[in-house]
Amino acid sequence: MFGVLLMTMTPAWGQGTGAPPVVRPQGPAHAVKAPPGSAALPLPPPPAPPPPLAAARPAVPPGTAAKPGSAAPAKPPPLPQDPNKGSNSGLPLPRFVSLRPAQVNLRAGPGERYQIEWVYQRRDLPVEIEREFDIWRLIRDSDGVRGWVQEVMLMGRRSFEVTGADRTLRHDPDEASRAVAILKPGVIGRIRACAAKSDWCQVQVDDFRGWLRRGEFWGTFPGEPVGN
CATH topology match: 22-27+160-227 vs 32-37+84-158: yes
The DSSP line for 112-126 is: TTSPEEEEE--TT-E
Q: How far apart are CA 116 and CA 114, in angstroms?
A: 7
The mean pLDDT value for 67-77 works out to 57
pLDDT interval class at 18 (50, 70, 90): confident
The mean pLDDT value for 50-61 works out to 52
Looking at domain 22-27+160-227, its CATH architecture is Roll (2.30)
Statement: the pTM of the whole predicted model exceeds 0.95: no
CATH topology of domain 32-37+84-158: SH3 type barrels. (2.30.30)
pLDDT at 55 over 90: no
pLDDT interval class at 79 (50, 70, 90): low
Per-residue confidence (pLDDT) for residue 86, from 0 to 100: 87
- Beta-bridge partners for 137: 132, 149
pLDDT interval class at 123 (50, 70, 90): very high
Give the residue extent of every domain in the chain.
22-27+160-227, 32-37+84-158
Count of CA atoms in the C-beta half-sphere (13 A) of 7:
1
Q: How far apart are CA 210 and CA 192, in angstroms?
A: 10
pLDDT at 153 over 90: yes
